[in-house]
Chains A and B, each alone.
Chain A
Amino acid sequence: MNPVFSPSVQEFQREFADFLRGVVPDGWAGAGALPHDEFPAFAADLRRALYEGGYLGVDWPVEYGGRGLTPEHQVAVAEQLTRMRLPQTSLSDVFGMQMFGTTVLAFGTEEQKHRFLPGILSGEVKWCQGYSEPQSGSDLASVSTAAVRDADGWHINGQKIWTGTAHFADWIFALVRTDPEAPKHRGLTLLACPLRQPGIEVRPIRQMWGDAEFNEVFFTDAITADDNVIGGVNNGWRVATALLEHERGGAAAVLAVRFEEELDRLCELAREHRRDKDTDIRQRIAWCRARVLAMKLLGYKALTRSLRGQPIGAEAAMTKLYWSEYHVVLTDLAMDILGDEALVLRGRRAVLADGPDAPGAPTDSAGWITAFLASRSSRIYAGTNQIQRNLLAESILGLPREPRPA
């Protein structure tokens, strides 16, 4: 047992820290301290610098633009970024690099890897994920958006919803029904599809915290080429569920570092409100500290497995469940510390509402209130936590499945 970065990764992390010191300006207070409207441009510049410096996709194979290093290096990069109060690249990279990129690496053809991966890494092509549908909810296998093949390729008709970043994406990877006669898990296909075409309309959905991060996407005879099938026709369920493991579990250790920074910021809030000696507040902060460490260690365990070439599997559901439930507790605590100041949104709003805000963010009430509201959605997206519990009970504990209607 040696739950620390190996010496070569530590050395790599030091190099990366030196690199970042050349990127951030003097007197750097953190990306979260930037004015709200300056953040997107800053994040885009940072992404470009990371790409040019060779620090994006460090664990991707060299032939597709990566550095050919290990997932341990990838975690070290993410940790260092947060330590220097920098955000993790851009929001669309979650879909492009982490989810679609990893899936193409696992299931794509050689031609697809060469065609898709370098553009994802450079940021030239932005991706979004088309899974959910208005009627499918947690029953992902019931999606009904249909794709039919003819000489032009695949014709897609239907509607997707909760499509994060679709408003600025270039491509979508969509789970579509390609065999309506087959049992519902067997007639699905994962299709990559250009988003900017006449057959596609994107409509933003405003969330309860005020921002519009998600969209509805309408397909009306949209077309994508035959060679954009990922992982085989009617094999979509297998490909899609493998992809979800990346969404839920891959970044566990990385997330924890962001939560550590956020918890320190909450302590600052407690001090500002003179609640740092309050027994109840101290109890809850201590509980959070242990949770955040456990999150990191669950990530280290998953990282160890992936370094040994073992799949993350259903345990990814554990990470998703653990962090999203934690974040609800943490943001409740912030609201309690704010007391009646939580009645008013004052100061800077969160620039990142998905999990902790950007490192170095102020302790303004608007930021915590946004996080409080947004934390409720993290228990729902990427599969509700009730679905995660079913998955854990069935896949890890081996409990019997719910009988399905014939």
Chain B
Amino acid sequence: MDFTFAQEQEDLRDAVRSFLRKRAGEAARRELLHTGYAFDREIWRSMARDLGLQTLAVPEERGGSGASFLESMIVFEETGRELFSGPFFSTVLATWVLEASASDAANTALQQVADGDLVLTAAIADESATRAVATPGGHRLTGAKARVTDLPVADAFVVWAQTAEGPSWFLVPAGADGVETTAEESLDLARPIGTLRLTDTPATLVVGPGQAVAVRESVDTRACVALAAELVGTAQAALDQSVEWSKSRHQFGRPIGSFQALKHLCADALVEVEAARVLTHYAGWAIADGQADAPVLASMAKQAAADAAAQAAGNNIQIHGGIGATWEHEAHLWLRRAKASGALFGTPRQHRARISDLLPV
């Protein structure tokens, strides 16, 4: 029995945390509040070239570091903790699709991601039916994809579309003919979302009908645990902020953290974060270890982490009082992330429905 991370994994966590604190921490969140979302490509390249984060779990022969899903999960917990304003989740999500493809296009893209030169995102949900037509010169896609994360900064899209033979995955460069992107005003300021419209757009098939559904299921499972890990990080950050503020803010002649009403809010958040954390780590281990129950574990982790993050972020605003409800204070950034990521890849309610479908009632 060993329910802890190995020393190298803890070292990875420390390295990522100190990198993000220094290069993309509080200062970046201030910028987010004052000047809006601005993605820093220099930090992105450094994350890829110096730390190898974007392709941590990509096999070495394909340009990655050959680590397991557990290592990726650790990084997600840290990006969630700092609310990293970059397309990390979107890019890694897209690499999971490309990893399943033996095509030259996938190999090239993975190498570019490893070099920090390519930002990807996955376009999965349909705004309107997205169809792929095979032509002598390759496939052409027409349709619209909804709620594509990090759409405004992506260099290429991994798109889920229907062919005559069944659903498949395609790679589409952002500059291809017939690509139209519409940025939306996003709840999560650190993760812009948009709609992708494709009109007779040339696309490269990366995963064909035989394999695409299985890849999607596996991507869904990993996405849920990645988001759960981010949410655990976010919940922890909100709780940490509550605790710091409770210790330093004085009212009625004593630190407000000495009042039981606030202690109990913090203690309840702590218990929920810890429970979500163990569920997430266990689901991450199950994916890395190839356990058959990984999908249901992913749902358990996702709903627990979304609830914990919403609770911790909501409490954090309450504990800060008036200042916590201003635009100036970053407290609302955590709440935005908690709710937005809670809905991405399934709300807690949807995941609970899925748990009941997978485990007999």
Docked CA distance A378–B279 (Å):
24
Docked CA distance A403–B260 (Å):
11
Q: Is the interface of B mostly helix, strand, loop or mixed?
A: helix
Q: Which residues of B contact A72 (CB under 8 A)?
A: 1
Q: Is the interface of A mostly helix, strand, loop or mixed?
A: helix
Which of A33-41, A55-63, A107-115, A276-284 lies at the binding interface?
Answer: A276-284
CB–CB B264/A279 < 8 A: no
B310 within 8 A of A: no
Which of B17-25, B40-48, B270-278, B338-346 lies at the binding interface?
Answer: B270-278
Docked CA distance A287–B239 (Å):
23
Which of B84-92, B134-142, B174-182, B350-358 lies at the binding interface?
Answer: B350-358
Which of B2-10, B187-195, B208-216 lies at the binding interface?
Answer: B2-10
CB–CB B270/A289 < 8 A: no
CB–CB A400/B258 < 8 A: yes
Residue of B whose beta carbon sits closest to that of A391: B267
Residue of A whose beta carbon sits closest to that of B296: A289
Q: Which residue of the partner chain, among B1, B239, B267, contacts A300 with CB atoms under 8 Å? A: B1
Docked CA distance A300–B277 (Å):
13
Task: From known contacts A283-B356, A399-B243, infer whether A394 and B263 are also in contact, taking CB-CB under 8 Å.
Answer: yes
B281 within 8 A of A: yes
CB–CB B254/A403 < 8 A: yes
Contact residues on A (Cβ < 8 Å of other chain), bracket: 35 or more
Q: Which residues of A contact B355 (CB under 8 A)?
A: 286, 289-290
Docked CA distance A72–B2 (Å):
10
CB–CB A293/B2 < 8 A: no
CB–CB A390/B263 < 8 A: yes
Q: Which residues of B contact A389 (CB under 8 A)?
A: 260, 263-264, 267-268
Docked CA distance A15–B298 (Å):
33
B360 within 8 A of A: yes
A267 within 8 A of B: yes
Which of A2-10, A154-162, A179-187 lies at the binding interface?
Answer: A2-10
Task: From known contacts A294-B275, A389-B268, infer whether A287 and B352 are also in contact, taking CB-CB under 8 Å.
Answer: yes
A322 within 8 A of B: yes
Question: What 1/0 flags go to B205-249 for Cβ under 8 Å of A?
Answer: 000000000000000000000000000000000010001001100
B361 within 8 A of A: yes
Q: List 26 A-B contacts (CB under 8 A).
A: A1-B9, A1-B281, A3-B282, A5-B1, A270-B361, A276-B361, A286-B354, A286-B359, A289-B300, A290-B303, A293-B297, A297-B281, A300-B3, A301-B4, A303-B3, A321-B267, A390-B263, A390-B267, A393-B264, A393-B266, A397-B270, A399-B243, A399-B257, A399-B266, A400-B257, A403-B258
